[in-house]
Amino acid sequence: MQYEDLIVEVHGKVALIRLNRPKALNALNDNMMNELGEALAAFDKDAQIGCIVLTGSEKAFAAGADIVAMKDYTYQDTYRDNYITRNWEHILKVRKPVIGAVAGYALGGGCELAMMCDFLIAADTAKFGQPEIKIGVTPGAGATQRLPRTIGKSKAMDLLLTARTIDAVEAERIGIVSRVVPADQLIAQALEAADTIAAMPLSVAMMIKDAVNRAFETTLTEGVNYERRLFHAAFGTPAQREGMSAFIEKRLPKFEGL
């Protein structure tokens, strides 16, 4: 599939989606977000794919929503026609694991899009921040909600109100990022992590993703009950038969197609 603002590759069972508007540091515009939604949905449906990696360029994951496109929007445009916001959350509908691989700037909507991935691997060049206040708007794709849940209220308020940019080391220390790797190894390491996941039984990976996301939407007791239901359901999958048999027979499990 060809896209105007994305480059899409398949590496074995892993799909790699690159945001690609280099002249604008991957500023996220309507077309790119439409294309991203289409690409994600297509890979989510594709039985050959077990994990998706979303990345940008060496210089920018994405420097935010496209300020040039937004500058003249009115309240009417944004509210009535749902401009900007209408195609941003397709990524949350993806049931397969999505790894964000971030190098360079992940600012504003770029940081918010990264935080919608299941986990983030950052190059040591990555920079995260929510500078919206400096251009006279609030965040609009979840930063005021996801940041406090991820890094706590004090850190979230600091980043959102001062608009300061943090580096990859600080982002890892406060839990935005799962791992930091040298910039020249970012894609290789993200693909390696994705390969590892894609070699697991997909149905179980999807259950785990579902259960972890439930943690943000419900009480601890309800969340643990939900996990218990999925744990019981796992005993109805061929993956459980194969995984446990392989362990007892001292061989590697064959999870292909499971």
Catalytic-residue membership of 37: no
CA distances from 198 to 21, 53, 124, 145, 201 (A): 28, 11, 25, 30, 8
Residue type, 72: D
Q: Which of 37, 64, 100, 253 binds ligand CO8 (CB under 6 A)?
A: 64
What number of chain residues touch ligand CO8 (CB under 6 A)?
A: 22
Rounded Cα–Cα distance for residues 86 and 216 (Å): 22
Residue 131 touching ligand CO8 (CB under 6 A):
yes
- Tokens at 98, concatenated: 């999505």
Task: Assign 77 to helix, strand or coil.
Answer: helix
Helices (H), the chain: 30-45, 67-70, 75-80, 109-115, 143-151, 153-162, 168-173, 186-198, 202-214, 220-234, 238-248
Residue 5 touching ligand CO8 (CB under 6 A):
no
Among the listed residues 65, 101, 114, 156, the single catalytic one is 65
Residue 159 touching ligand CO8 (CB under 6 A):
no
Residue 27 touching ligand CO8 (CB under 6 A):
yes
Catalytic-residue membership of 9: no
Closest distance of CB 21 from ligand CO8, Å: 9
Taking CB under 6 A as the binding criterion, the range among 139-147, 189-197, 201-209, 226-234 that sits at the site for ligand CO8 is: 139-147
Among the listed residues 56, 103, 112, 156, the single catalytic one is 112
Residue 25 touching ligand CO8 (CB under 6 A):
yes
Residue 105 touching ligand CO8 (CB under 6 A):
yes
Catalytic-residue membership of 132: yes
**Closest to ligand CO8 by CB, 13 or 21:** 21
Residue 107 touching ligand CO8 (CB under 6 A):
yes
Interacting residues with ligand CO8 between 67 and 96 (CB under 6 A): 67-68, 84-85, 88
What residues contact 153, with CB distance under 8 A and at least 6 apart?
none
- Let me know: does 63 contact 25? Beta carbons within 8 Å: yes
Residue 205 touching ligand CO8 (CB under 6 A):
no
- Tokens at 4, concatenated: 């105007």
Buried b (16+ CB within 10 A) or exposed e, 214-243: beeeeeeeebeebbeebeeebeeeebbebb
Residue 211 CB burial class (10 angstroms; 0-12, 13-18, ≥19):
middle
**Closest to ligand CO8 by CB, 42 or 67:** 67
Catalytic-residue membership of 256: no
Taking CB under 6 A as the binding criterion, the range among 137-145, 172-180, 207-215, 224-232 that sits at the site for ligand CO8 is: 137-145
Q: What are phi and psi of 129, to 5 degrees?
A: -175, 165
Residues that bind ligand CO8 (CB under 6 A): 24-25, 27, 63-68, 84-85, 88, 105, 107-109, 131-132, 135, 139-141
